[in-house]
């Protein structure tokens, strides 16, 4: 179980989101959610998912950049995807050597390019291969706890059979996104599925994390208490709110404070990832940071045309001069 056995329940974890929970954003979350301090969080960080096939290819050095993390982010879990057991084993060996605290296998992503590789949500259609991949990852993990993030079914709910199949491999944790692959995120998450998964896991030692539509820490706690979930994974609600996991925070940052955080986030993204990722990826955060005040839409439009962090800062500072009354 590794570090999982030490967490106070219900614990809160950061969801792995492609082109979102990158090294820059995780560092912002660690800082503004006061990770490691009393009442701070999250309890566990997750990386973006990384291709096991890619990490076993000649292009591995660039892909490994997605696995960079800071000392402040422990415990941190590296999420991988793939459908070749040999590559999953080798990737687990690499992750172990990089100093991660755990490894997670994505078996729920509905992205078509991932599914074409037999990975992500496609693993639900090949349960025996899924088990092989989990066991191969465990073999390479060298004692690191291995977990699985998945959904409740592919085209239709198949929770009992699917979760039971995963449980046969004795993972440390199963994260249940309470929707099917077909539903994507287009319908409300049904946390009754999380409660069912928890019952299926009784006596196995495997922890169950619930995922889907968590709006706040209080909402997450309510969902955990109602379902018996050991932990809560937060995804979309973290957009534009790197302070989300601070349990002691009683007030939201002012608009001006949000602007300073936005600028800091943008500069950090450019510093850490500007040489390998398109600046447009950073822009997906701006709608979440910039909303709820007069002129927000026009400001976002200008920011979307910016080519780098300096231009973003100049646009924001000019806006503040023009709208000096905004706090």
Catalytic residue positions?
Answer: 109
Could you count the other beta carbons within 10 Å of the beta carbon of residue 276?
Answer: 10
Whole-number Cα distances in Å, 65 to 54, 189, 318: 12, 32, 34
Is the backbone of residue 202 left (phi > 0), alpha (psi -120 to 50) or beta? beta
CA distance 196 to 127: 19
């Amino acid at each position: 179980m590794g570090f999982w056995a030490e967490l106070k329940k219900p614990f809160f974890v950061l969801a792995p989101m492609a082109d979102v929970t990158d090294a820059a954003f995780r560092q912002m979350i660690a800082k503004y959610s006061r990770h490691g301090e009393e009442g701070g969080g999250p309890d566990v960080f997750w990386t973006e998912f990384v291709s096991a096939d890619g990490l076993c290819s000649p292009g591995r050095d660039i892909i490994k950049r997605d696995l960079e993390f800071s000392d402040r982010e422990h415990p941190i879990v590296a999420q991988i995807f793939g459908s070749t057991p040999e590559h999953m084993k080798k990737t687990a060996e690499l992750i172990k050597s990089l100093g991660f605290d755990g490894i997670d296998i994505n078996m729920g992503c509905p992205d078509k390019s991932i599914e074409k590789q037999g990975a992500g949500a496609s693993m639900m259609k090949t349960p025996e291969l899924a088990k092989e991949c989990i066991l191969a990852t465990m073999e390479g993990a060298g004692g690191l706890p291995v977990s699985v993030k998945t959904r409740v079914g592919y085209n239709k709910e198949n929770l009992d059979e699917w979760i039971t199949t995963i449980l046969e491999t004795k993972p440390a944790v199963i994260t249940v996104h309470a929707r099917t692959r077909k539903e994507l995120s287009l319908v409300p998450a049904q946390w009754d599925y999380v409660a069912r998964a928890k019952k299926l896991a009784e006596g196995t030692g495997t922890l169950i994390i619930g995922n889907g539509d968590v709006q706040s820490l209080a909402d997450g706690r309510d969902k955990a208490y109602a379902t018996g979930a050991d932990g809560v994974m937060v995804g979309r609600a973290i957009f534009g709110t790197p302070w989300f996991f601070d349990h002691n925070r009683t007030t939201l940052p002012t608009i001006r404070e949000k602007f300073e955080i936005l600028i800091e986030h943008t500069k950090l993204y450019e510093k850490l990832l500007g040489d390998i990722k398109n600046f447009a990826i950073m822009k997906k955060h701006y709608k979440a940071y910039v909303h709820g005040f007069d002129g927000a839409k026009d400001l976002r439009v200008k920011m979307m045309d910016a080519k780098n962090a300096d231009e973003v800062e100049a646009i924001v500072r000019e806006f503040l001069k023009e709208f000096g009354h905004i706090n």
